[in-house]
Structure 1
Amino acid sequence: MSESEQSENAQMEAAVTRWQALKKQAEDGELRLDEQIGTALANHADQMRTKLDTMLDFAGDLKHQAGFGTLKSAEALRDKFAKKATAGDDSAVNRLKQSIEVVTLMSETYKLAIGKLTESDQSAASQYSKLNTGDS
């Protein structure tokens, strides 16, 4: 794996770690988002996920290479391209899977952050209502 591929892999791992931490904060109620903003962000992440899933389907087809000829060197080149597309840590398929993991975490985080804000608002409204009516 080249230095740039290692760097890209490290960046993707850092993104996953960052979004896992943000998701945990949303689960704990520490990260909150306005419902409209959070919904828009979650919808966008879901749209990105759909596009990445489509790209992943197409990338799987890249293992079927043709047009290289019958020479041994051509066959070796065809196999190398097929592997780059579908096998190995830095293959197109694995990179797409990593991206899907990130946008899935993003969507889940946004949805949790909205839920916690809505839950918090409902709890505060309930407490306020009890205070106004004199209930304990």
Structure 2
Amino acid sequence: MSDERVVVDAQAAEDCARACETFASSMRDIVNTVGDVGHYRGFGTLPSGVALAAKYAESTRGGPGSLTFTLDRHAEVAMKLADTFRRMGDQYVETDDAVAASLRPSDTGGR
């Protein structure tokens, strides 16, 4: 969008696809960083401290609902959006070419 106009063309679609891929990559980098953190420390050896450390680990790197799970899903959606933007760009070019061809003067046989 520039000068309060929306610009739609194949390059805009590609730019959006690349932005989605960059976002997905950053989400995966965060997941890898979180996965490398290791175990939570500082909660002590009492059962409540051990349980609290386990709960933090589960909410960070556990199953559904954990930080890493959620960030992985965000990355997947962003990659699907990138694919969608690329298909939209391809279809834009095809449609634009078809419309341009239909507007060209045609041979009317001398009429």
Flag whether TM exceeds 0.5 (same fold): yes
Residue type at the aligned position of 2:67? A
1:77 maps to 2:52: yes
Q: TM-score if structure 2 supplies the norm length?
A: 0.75
Q: 1:113 — aligned with what?
A: 88
- RMSD, aligned α-carbons: 2.4
Q: Which structure features the higher share of helix residues?
A: 1
The more displaced of 35-44 and 92-101 is 35-44
Q: After superposition, what is the alpha-carbon deviation per residue over 1:33-61, rounded to whole angstroms, capped at 9, x for unaligned? A: 51122122112111111111101111223
- Distance in 2 of aligned mates of 1:35 and 1:103: 19
Q: Note the C-alpha offset of 1:66.
A: 2.1
- Alignment equivalent of 1:89, drawn from 64, 67, 79: 64
Residue type at the aligned position of 1:89? P
- Distance in 1 of aligned mates of 2:78 and 2:89: 17
Residue type at the aligned position of 1:64? H
Residue type at the aligned position of 1:51? S
Q: 1:62, 1:82 within 8 Å by CA — same for their partners in 2?
A: no
Q: 1:39, 1:110 within 8 Å by CA — same for their partners in 2?
A: yes
Larger radius of gyration: 2
Q: TM-score if structure 1 supplies the norm length?
A: 0.63
Q: 1:65 — aligned with what?
A: 40
Aligned length: 102
Residue type at the aligned position of 1:74? G
Q: Which runs of 5+ in 2 are unaligned?
A: 1-7
1:100 maps to 2:75: yes
**Sequence identity, in percent?**
26
- Alignment equivalent of 1:39, drawn from 6, 14, 17: 14
Q: Which runs of 5+ in 1 are unaligned?
A: 1-32
SS at match of 2:43: coil
Residue type at the aligned position of 1:81? Y
- Distance in 2 of aligned mates of 1:131 and 1:50: 49
